[in-house]
Each structure stands twice: as C-alpha cells, then as structure tokens.
Amino acid sequence: MNTGPAATNSPAATPAPTSANSAVATTATAIVNIASLVTNDPSLGDGTPLGLIQDAAVVIDGDRVVWVGESSKAPATDNRVDAAGRAVIPGFVDSHSHLVFAGDRTAEFHARMSGQPYKAGGIRTTVAATRAATDAELSANVAHYMAEALRQGTTTFETKSGYGLTVEDEARALRIAAEHTDEVTYLGAHIVSPDYADDPAAYVDLVTGPMLDACAPHARWIDVFCEKGAFDGDQARAILTAGQAKGLAARIHANQLSYGPGVQLAVELGAASADHCTHLTDADVDALASGDTVATLLPGAEFSTRAQWPDARRLVDAGVTVALSTDCNPGSSFTSSVPFCVALAVRDMRMTPDEALWSATAGGAAALRRTDIGRVAVGARADLVLLDAPSHVHLAYRPGVPLVAQVWRTGVRVA
C-alpha cells in the first residue's frame, strides 16, 4: 500500500494460504545468506517474540512471503538476492503521523529549544498554512515525507487530518491522505478550531455532525487530542462514540502533556491504540494491561519538546502491548525516522533492542489491528528491510547511521 489509489491490499486483505513446504514458483525471489532474520513469529527460530532465525532465507512471490527458513534449504527460484551476511527485518509500521500539512515551524522549534515550553496551540500556525495551500501542494508534501520514510524502512504509514478544522478542509485532507495510504484517520478534534474559540461546544457539534458526515467516507479511524487546551474527557467520549457509530474505529492522543482521562477512555471504548501515554497512573497502566488497547509511544515528541520520556519499561513489564511510532508532524516531532525512535526507546525509555524492534514492526501492526504486516512469515505481506548491519541491534547501537540498504514493499523493491 501507500502507492496510491491503485494499491490492491486493503487492511482486510487475507494472506493467501501457503504452506512452507508447498512448491515455490520459479518467478519468485529468494533473499539468501541473511545473517539474522527477524520474523516476529515466535513459532520460528529461537522461540523469542522476535522469532529470530540465523543463516536464513526468505522467498517472496507476488506481494507475499511464501517461504522462510534456513538459507541452505531455500528452494530454487529464478531471482536471487544475496544478503551477504546482513540482517533482514519486517518493514516498519508507523501507526501515527500527521503528514497532511503545509508551512514550516522552524521558528517555533528554535524558540522552544531556547527555553520556551511546548503548548498545544502551536497547531494553529499549521492550520493557517494548510488552509491556504492547494490540493497539489498538500499531496506533494505527503508524497515527499512518505518517500522519505520509505527510504528509512517504513512500509506502512498511518496519517491524519487535523490541520484544516473546517468541514471542507478536513474532508480535503482525508481525501488527499487516502491517495497515499489506506490507514487514514479523521482528526477534526486536533484542537478547537480558532473559528470557534469562544464556543468549543459548538465545535464539538460540528466535529460529531457535518464534519464527521463529510469525513467518514475517506477514513478508517477517528482520533481526538484529549488534553488540557484541546478536548476534555467528556468531549473526547462524544467525538469517538460518534465516529464509531459511523463505522470508524477509535484511536486517541492520550496523556501526553499531563495526567488525564484519555487512556481509561481508550480502553473503555475499545480503541485500537492510546497514543503518547507519557503521564500514566498505576490505574492507567492496569487498564492498558487488562484491555486490548495498544500503548503507542512517540519518543520523537519528547525529544523535540525536551519533555519527560514515556516509561516504556513500566508498560512492557506490566504486559501492555507497546508500539513505537514517529508522530511525524511539523510542530512537535518532525522526524520520519523509525530507526531514530528505536534508538531513543532503547537509550532513554529502557526498552531492550529486541522489544524496540518488535514494537516498531509488530507493535505498530497491532496498533492498526493488522495481521498481514509487521512480520516475515508465510502468508504475510512481503514488506522487508535489508539492513547494512549483521543484526537489528545495530539500529540502536549505531544511532543516526543510515543502515537501511534495501526495502521491499508488497514484494516490490522500492528503495
């Protein structure tokens, strides 16, 4: 996916049933001599969640993985790629970004790095620039940052509206996002529109009424920024339940800048993901551990705002499913690099290198309720990254180094 309207793999696509022992077409491509293959299939390899196989091979045919195993046992294929002792991992699944925007917030970042705290209101700057941009400019911007992410190994990208905040501008943002990805999220409730500054309740009525009607056909998800200065718990509940009634699935920006009701609301409403999770009570952690809501951590935001890191160790130890994503947006986290987030998670959030890699691939897939991506196993979509390193550990061990050598998305080598 992420290739435009012609992409055929919908989120609901079911992997073709293929056995590891079935005959492999000679039109397939075998990637052999992989020193270390992360499958995220615990039934394979070393039995850990990463399902690590040493001296491995992968065979892809069409858009699917059709064979995984030891390199010496790889079936004959017409096409062969020699990994030459390097590592292969699943393509990254970036389940949280805000790419439909225009304008620039370099000055705000510069000021913040000179000592001013981050407040939610900076979004208004981007709203003004986005409203003024043409469709072509917005679409080119999305394409630019998705290509940038693809070169860094991201093969699935979620992205949101939220910089239009009118019926027309939100629907336009989602229409444009849907040209580039199937994972599109309606975030009319990013902040209260400046046009409704004196009447937030009327803005919630708009978001849950005419704006939702115009946006729902273009989106899979609905999201809300539940935070002081944005939307409170009651407003967030009204917004998410209205979206669910229109067939959208819920996700939420929760507990980023302060403690609040967002995480508990996410679990209560069965949201796929509670994103940020920086300020959590023990009850919040317990709620996440007992439900099936993924905690999506976005360390690029804490990095770029010099804020307190989310406590990934606490979440993982409590049994919470954790995803790692970029939150790529022009204000609070202008990175499209999942490897950078992996390095931050290991260095500053006390995840192990294995946990961070899992969260950036399988965790992201879980946050999007996808089973066809985030793993390298028979039947999964052929989204693979060949690293210029002998193992995935180098993503954190060699931070900032461009280690992505080759990328396959839906079986096609794209970078």
Up-side HSE of residue 359: CA atoms within 13 Å toward CB? 36
Up-side HSE of residue 97: CA atoms within 13 Å toward CB? 28
Cβ of residue 203: shortest distance to Zn ion, in angstroms?
Answer: 19
* Choices 46-54, 316-324, 327-335, 367-375; region in contact with Zn ion by CB under 5 A: 327-335
Cβ–Cβ under 8 Å, residues 28 and 61: yes
How large is the angle between the packed helices 167-178 and 123-132, nearest 10 degrees?
80
Nearest-CA neighbor of 83 among 71, 67, 69? 71
Cβ–Cβ under 8 Å, residues 80 and 26: no
Quick one: 41 or 327, whose CB is closer to Zn ion?
A: 327
96 annotated to a ligand binding site: yes
Could you tell me the two tokens for 402?
A: 């461009």
CA distance 342 to 40: 16
* Choices 122-130, 151-159, 194-202, 319-327; region in contact with Zn ion by CB under 5 A: 319-327
Quick one: 2 or 185, whose CB is closer to Zn ion?
A: 185
Cβ of residue 297: shortest distance to Zn ion, in angstroms?
Answer: 12
Cβ of residue 281: shortest distance to Zn ion, in angstroms?
Answer: 21
394 annotated to a ligand binding site: no
291 annotated to a ligand binding site: no
Cβ of residue 215: shortest distance to Zn ion, in angstroms?
Answer: 17
105 annotated to a ligand binding site: yes
* Choices 67-75, 279-287, 325-333, 383-391; region in contact with Zn ion by CB under 5 A: 325-333
**Using the rule CB under 5 A, is 327 a contact of Zn ion?**
yes
368-372: which pairs have CB atoms within 8 A and are 24 or more residues apart? 368/11, 368/93, 368/95, 368/156, 368/158, 368/183, 368/272, 368/273, 369/11, 369/249, 369/272, 370/11, 370/93, 370/156, 372/9, 372/13, 372/14, 372/15
Cβ of residue 272: shortest distance to Zn ion, in angstroms?
Answer: 14
Nearest-CA neighbor of 183 among 85, 358, 58, 323? 323
332 annotated to a ligand binding site: yes
Quick one: 29 or 333, whose CB is closer to Zn ion?
A: 333
Cβ of residue 229: shortest distance to Zn ion, in angstroms?
Answer: 14
Quick one: 29 or 185, whose CB is closer to Zn ion?
A: 185
Cβ–Cβ under 8 Å, residues 24 and 78: no
Distances (CA, A) of 395 to 14, 26, 284, 349, 354: 31, 33, 30, 15, 10
Cβ of residue 327: shortest distance to Zn ion, in angstroms?
Answer: 5
- Residue 129: Cβ within 10 Å count: 17
* Choices 232-240, 323-331, 336-344, 403-411; region in contact with Zn ion by CB under 5 A: 323-331
180 annotated to a ligand binding site: no
Q: Which residue is nearest to Zn ion (CB)?
A: 327
253 annotated to a ligand binding site: yes
Indicate the Cα dihedral angle 226, 143, 342, 324, nearest 10°.
30
Number of residues that bind Zn ion (CB under 5 A): 1
Quick one: 126 or 410, whose CB is closer to Zn ion?
A: 126
Quick one: 212 or 274, whose CB is closer to Zn ion?
A: 274
* Choices 201-209, 266-274, 320-328, 390-398; region in contact with Zn ion by CB under 5 A: 320-328
Where along the sequence are the contacts to Zn ion (CB under 5 A)?
327
Annotated binding site for N-formimidoyl-L-glutamate: 163, 329, 331
Annotated binding site: 96, 98, 105, 163, 190, 253, 256, 327, 329, 331-332
Annotated binding site for Zn(2+): 96, 98, 253, 327
